[in-house]
Amino acid sequence: MKFTLGFSPCPNDTFIFDALVNKKIDTGGFEFDVVLEDVETLNQWALKARLDITKLSFPAFFQSTENYVLLNAGSALGKGVGPLVISKKNTPYSREDIQQSTIAIPGTHTTANLLLNFAFPEAKQTRPMIFSEIEHAVLSAETELGVIIHENRFTYQQKGLYKQVDLGEYWEQEMNLPIPLGAIAIKREIDNETAGKINDLIKQSLEYAYAKYPLLPEFVKQHSQEMSEGVMRQHIELYVNDYSIDLGRKGKEAIKTLYRTYASMQRKLSHLPSIDLFLS
C-alpha cells in the first residue's frame, strides 16, 4: 500500500521520519510518497485534504477534523517550546504597544498565531509570511514585531533581535499544560488497523533515531540548510520528546484544551463538533 506523507524539512520532523522514509526499519510493505514543505503550506493542503498523512499545526487540524484524525506518534508538544515575540528595539513593549504593532506571523493557521491571539486578542495587524523570513522583516522594519518558531528561537539574538514575550510561557502559566505546537494526522477514510500500523511505524522510526543519537542522520543534515549541528541538536532536543513517541493522557488533555480555546475564539463556533480527535 502506498500513501502520501508530508512533513517539514525542520530537524525535528526529519529526525522523526528518517528511518521510516529511508527504510532503515521494516515498513511492513507500506510505501510513502514523501513531500517536504513548510508547515503553513502543509496547513493549507490539509484544509483541502490533499495528503494521506501530514504534519500540520493544530488550528489547521481543528478546521480539518471531518477529514483527519490525530496519530499518537510524531507530535510536537512540551514545555518551554513556545513561539517568541521578537523586536528590533531593545526596550520593553507594553501590552498596548504589542497590540497596536504590525506583527509578522508564520501563517494564519499556525499554532503560533493562535497563541498570539490567545495572549493578545486585540493584536489585529498581523502579516503572514514564511517563518524563515520573519527575522528579516523585523530587522528591515517591514514589521515592528515578529513571531518566531523552529530554529529561529536559537539564532535571533545573534542577529541583533530581542525577545518581548514568550507565548508558550504565557500559555503554560494560564493553563498549566504543555503547549501543543504541531501534530501528525491521517485521513479518516484510512481504516483503523492500517492507521494503527502507520502510527507504530512512526514510533519505531523515532525510537531508531533515538538509539543512534547524538549521531545525526544525513537526511536531517541535508534539509537543514546552513544550520550548525549544534543548532540541529538544540532543535531536536526542544521539540522531540516523550509526547512525540506517544501523546499520552496529558498530551491529549492539552490538545483538547487548545481545541476548546480555539473554538471560543471563533465566534462562528458556538459549540465543538462531537467528533473524536484521536486515533482509537
| Same-domain status, 170 and 187 | no
Give me the catalytic one of 136, 150, 235, 271: 150
| Same-domain status, 56 and 25 | yes
| Same-domain status, 118 and 164 | yes
Q: What is the pLDDT of residue 274?
A: 62
Q: Which of 127, 145, 175 is the last residue of a domain?
A: 175
**pLDDT single digits (tens) 168-216:** 999 999 999 999 999 999 999 999 999 999 999 999 999 999 999 999 9
- What is the pTM for the complete model shown? 0.93
| Same-domain status, 133 and 210 | no
Query: Which residue in the block uniquely carries the three cell numbers 510536537?
Result: 76
Q: Is residue 184 part of a domain?
A: yes
**pLDDT single digits (tens) 79-96:** 988 999 999 999 999 999
β-strand pairing of 84-87 with 145-148: antiparallel
Q: Is residue 68 part of a domain?
A: yes
**pLDDT single digits (tens) 20-48:** 999 999 999 999 999 999 999 999 999 99
Its domain, for residue 239, covers: 2-77+180-265
Of the chain, the end-to-end C-alpha distance in Å amounts to 21
Structural domains of the chain, count: 2
Cell readout for 118 is 490567545
Q: Is 150 a catalytic residue?
A: yes
| Same-domain status, 185 and 171 | no
Which residues, other chains included, contact 7 with Cβ-Cβ below 8 Å and sequence gap of 6+?
Answer: 13, 14, 16, 17, 34, 36, 42, 54, 55, 184
Three-class SS of 208-246 = HHHHHCCCCCHHHHHCCCCCCHHHHHHHHHHHCCHHHHC
| Same-domain status, 210 and 170 | no
